[in-house]
Chain A
Amino acid sequence: MKLFKLILLCLFLFSNAYANTIYELIKIPHLEIYNIKTENKLRYLYAKQPFTIGVDNNINCFNSTKKDLEKKYLIIEKNLSRYPKDFLKKINLKYIVLCEDLSISGIGTAGIPDNVMKTLIVDIKFNKKYFERVLHHEVFHIINDSYREIFNEKIWSSFNPLGFNYAECSTCTKKIGLDTYLKTNGFITEYSRSTASEDMAEVFSHLMYGNLPEEIDPILKKKIEFIKRGISKIDKNFIL
């Protein structure tokens, strides 16, 4: 029996079905297929072992338990299935990598989008309260990276109150609160104030998740229209 268990363990440890193909396609090691038979052709992959990628190996993520994966996959799939296949093709998103404790240069993050590799890495253990909305936030970064000219940051920034300036980068500020403001005043969350791109992603994610504040100020109204117009330029059939 012990021998049988040992053989089984060896098979589990050394099986690398599709791991090489996945690496060849998206340059992330230690991944396996979770599910690729989805309606919108998104391919869900999971970390079988921790992996390290990026410039100077600054991106790290760890493998999850089967139970956690099963639980979170349902939530992720439910949310991402709202993006049709054609839309996903236009924005360059195809692979969803599921792992936990995702960090970039030591800073924890919900997701890392890479429109060149058509990949979104998702931390399945990220903040439970905002998990679903944050998925759409990360999808927006893919959209934004693919269509910089549509989501022009200068035009976007011109909507803001006079004298307002964003931070140098999304991690250069302590404004990281994700609670939706009751009184918006041009911004939907505290994190919206970090950078123009994060501001756009926050508006988009609220639109997708359907939890816009009850009262919307004129600046936020302009921002919402801007996002909706931009998305319809990419795909007129994708209605926000």
Chain B
Amino acid sequence: MIEKIKASTSEKIIFIFILILGLFSLTSFLLIKDRCLFVKNYDPEKIKFEDPSNIAILNVGCGNVIIELYPEISPNGVERFKTLIKSKSYDDVAFHRVIKDKLVQAGDLEFGKKGNIDYGKIGTGKSGLGSINSEIDKEFDFSKGSVGLARTQQYDTEDSQFFIILQDEPLYEGEFTPIGKVIYGIKVLEKIKYLDKSEYVLRPDFINSLRLFN
């Protein structure tokens, strides 16, 4: 005959504690795994813009990033950006250079496309439309969220690559061509994949789409 053994109070407490601990661990794991949790995804249709023709919607893993473009500050830079957006050239292009809390950079159309990434050359690719001149003479406050065109060490080498800064960078004024500023969704960019030991990201995140609002 099997005698039923009753759990003592202390055993019950330990059991409940282990159960709570297990639940807590599982919840934490799920929360940590979902990096987009607590990141607000803005719907541009629900926002009223002053000048909708100069709004670009960058869609990435965690949601939308809404960028206001400044053609009055850098007409050629914004025109190039819009041309490439209209041709959907930025879709599936990698955020190949990401520095935590500093900047994200994308737009290498030649070596940064999903399925065709060349890690040896990424960051050096071109659009095929040629370089444009730097537009750096007008005053611009490179505060967090500013969008600029990337270039080589030389001026007048801007093409398709762009960066968005995640902190204020006053020294960028006069160095880089500013084309706009993130007005909603900067937190989405803070979730872009980065590496601790390198600016260049292996198996990077990609732009889902980049479209003009109007």
Binding site for B on A (CB under 8 A): 18, 20-22, 25, 33, 36, 41, 43, 94
Closest to B142 in A: A21
Task: Count residues on chain B whose CB falls below 8 Å from chain A CBs.
Answer: 7
Task: Please tell me if the beta carbons of B169 and A21 are within 8 angstroms of each other in the complex.
Answer: yes
Give the CA-CA distance A18 to B172 in the complex, in Å: 11
What are the residues of chain B within 8 A of A21 when measuring CB–CB? 169, 171-172
Task: Please tell me if the beta carbons of B174 and A25 are within 8 angstroms of each other in the complex.
Answer: no
Give residues 72-120 of B contacting A (CB, 8 Å). Answer: 102
Task: Please tell me if the beta carbons of A20 and B102 are within 8 angstroms of each other in the complex.
Answer: yes
Task: Please tell me if the beta carbons of A36 and B102 are within 8 angstroms of each other in the complex.
Answer: no
Task: Please tell me if the beta carbons of A25 and B171 are within 8 angstroms of each other in the complex.
Answer: yes
Closest to A20 in B: B102
* B52 on the A face (CB < 8 A): no
Closest to A27 in B: B153
What are the residues of chain A within 8 A of B175 when measuring CB–CB? 25
Give the CA-CA distance A224 to B166 in the complex, in Å: 50
What are the residues of chain A within 8 A of B174 when measuring CB–CB? 41, 94
* B22 on the A face (CB < 8 A): no
Q: Within the complex, what minimum Cβ distance (angstroms) separates B149 from chain A?
A: 16
**Can you sample 17 A-B contacts with CB below 8 Å?**
A18-B169, A18-B170, A18-B171, A20-B102, A21-B169, A21-B171, A21-B172, A22-B171, A25-B171, A25-B175, A33-B170, A33-B171, A36-B170, A36-B171, A41-B174, A43-B171, A94-B174
Binding site for A on B (CB under 8 A): 102, 169-172, 174-175
Closest to B137 in A: A89
Give the CA-CA distance A22 to B169 in the complex, in Å: 10
Closest to B102 in A: A20
Interface SS of B by simple majority: loop
Closest to B176 in A: A25
Give the CA-CA distance A94 to B170 in the complex, in Å: 14
What are the residues of chain A within 8 A of B171 when measuring CB–CB? 18, 21-22, 25, 33, 36, 43
Closest to A117 in B: B153
What are the residues of chain B within 8 A of A94 when measuring CB–CB? 174
Give the CA-CA distance A41 to B102 in the complex, in Å: 24
What are the residues of chain A within 8 A of B172 when measuring CB–CB? 21
Give the CA-CA distance A43 to B170 in the complex, in Å: 10
What are the residues of chain A within 8 A of B170 when measuring CB–CB? 18, 33, 36
What are the residues of chain A within 8 A of B102 when measuring CB–CB? 20
Give the CA-CA distance A43 to B172 in the complex, in Å: 11
Known: A21-B172, A33-B171. 13 other contacts (CB 8 A): A18-B169, A18-B170, A18-B171, A20-B102, A21-B171, A22-B171, A25-B171, A25-B175, A33-B170, A36-B171, A41-B174, A43-B171, A94-B174
Closest to A45 in B: B171
Give the CA-CA distance A43 to B171 in the complex, in Å: 8
Q: Within the complex, what minimum Cβ distance (angstroms) separates B104 from chain A?
A: 15
Give the CA-CA distance A121 to B3 in the complex, in Å: 89
What are the residues of chain B within 8 A of A41 when measuring CB–CB? 174
Give the CA-CA distance A21 to B171 in the complex, in Å: 8
Q: Within the complex, what minimum Cβ distance (angstroms) separates B12 from chain A?
A: 44
What are the residues of chain B within 8 A of A18 when measuring CB–CB? 169-171
Select the residue from A18, A21, A25, A43 with max chain B CB neighbours within 10 A: A21
Give the CA-CA distance A33 to B170 in the complex, in Å: 10
Give the CA-CA distance A94 to B175 in the complex, in Å: 10
Q: Within the complex, what minimum Cβ distance (angstroms) separates A42 from chain B?
A: 11
Q: Within the complex, what minimum Cβ distance (angstroms) separates B100 from chain A?
A: 11
Give the CA-CA distance A41 to B137 in the complex, in Å: 11
Give the CA-CA distance A18 to B165 in the complex, in Å: 13
Closest to A41 in B: B174
What are the residues of chain B within 8 A of A33 when measuring CB–CB? 170-171
Closest to A26 in B: B171
Q: Within the complex, what minimum Cβ distance (angstroms) separates B171 from chain A?
A: 5
Give the CA-CA distance A83 to B150 in the complex, in Å: 29
Q: Within the complex, what minimum Cβ distance (angstroms) separates A191 from chain B?
A: 33
